[in-house]
Amino acid sequence: SKQLSTLSYDLLSSLKAIDPKTEPEKLLNYFAAKVLSLIPARSLLFRLYDKVLDKTFETSLGTADREKPVRETLSVAPLEVYVNDKIDKNATYELWLSNQNVRFPEEYKNELLPILQLLEYSFVAVMKGTLTWLRSLIDPLTKLYTRYHFSEVLQHYFEKAQSEQGELSVVMCDIDNFKRINDTYGHLTGDAVLKEVARILRDNVRSTDVVGRFGGEEFVLLFPSTGEEEAKTVVERLRRLTRDLNKFPFNITLSYGIAVYPACKVNDSEELIQKADIALYHAKNTGKDKIVVYTEGMSGGLHA
């Protein structure tokens, strides 16, 4: 049909213009808007889960009051569509849309099905590129950003803080006595500890904060637009959560070093990481399981 060929052309043109580095939420919103412009649904749920990232992305409109179908559905009287499929071996998506107020003749399925297939095909093609890009930024064990990508993100926020005369906090933290845990309980237990600490860090910072694995048992956090007191509050919460963890036959504690810009007189983001590292070194050397904020004149550092 003419509508279908127009849609094909429109989608192909759009796909060429979409940057694979587009965030999944934006892509979901883009395709949800396309669906709603072509199909008269009153409610919609579009959800994506990626096992590698261990993350769910979704967008929805007016679906809270109804039960989602348990199997794939294509009904036109009333209108209800539910699709659940794979993007690749590590990612699945579901699309559910309905309008209980409209009833179409059965032939409408012949019009609806090709539209859905085209939208799905386009969505999967774009999302594959985006997920491949995102997965390359993630440390496979901890699901945190790699050191390389964290440094890129930090550079962006550092330049922003410089140009806007804003604040920025960087935190380096390290699992205390991790070598002893590995030597006593083995590397599988060590890996389980790394994953659990990463989960606590990831799940208990604010949505604007960024968490990365710096290497080994060391993690790095970025708090945009955040000064010393606020950074200490967030870090103290993390310190208590890891210390109170009772999943293992031993206690887990972390030491933390905080560096705040512009209180730290630094010219670039790497220098800020170095200052946080020096503060971490002082936390380690003065009792562990504590938070130290960098002040001028401190020296040393785990990577000095």
List Cβ<8 Å contacts ≥24 apart for 110-118.
111/1, 112/39, 112/74, 112/76, 112/81, 113/74, 114/4, 115/3, 115/4, 115/7, 115/38, 115/39, 116/39, 116/74, 116/81, 116/83, 118/4, 118/7, 118/8, 118/11
List the chain pLDDT tens, one digit each, 304 residues: 656 677 676 777 776 677 777 889 999 998 999 888 888 899 999 999 999 988 899 999 886 557 888 899 999 999 999 999 999 999 999 999 999 898 999 998 998 898 899 889 889 999 999 999 999 999 999 999 999 999 999 999 999 999 999 999 999 999 999 999 999 999 999 999 999 999 999 999 988 999 999 999 999 999 999 999 999 999 999 999 999 999 999 999 999 999 999 999 999 999 999 999 999 999 999 999 999 999 988 777 655 4
Sheet holding 55-61, edge to edge: 55-61, 43-50, 91-99, 79-88, 73-76
Residue 68 DSSP one-character state = P
Which of the following is catalytic: 217, 218, 236, 271? Answer: 217
Write down the pTM of the prediction.
0.76
**In the prediction, which pLDDT does 54 show?**
86
Domains of the chain plus CATH, in order, are: 2-136 (3.30.450), 147-293 (3.30.70.270)
Active site residue 217: yes
Distance separating alpha carbons of residues 48 and 126, to the nearest angstrom: 13
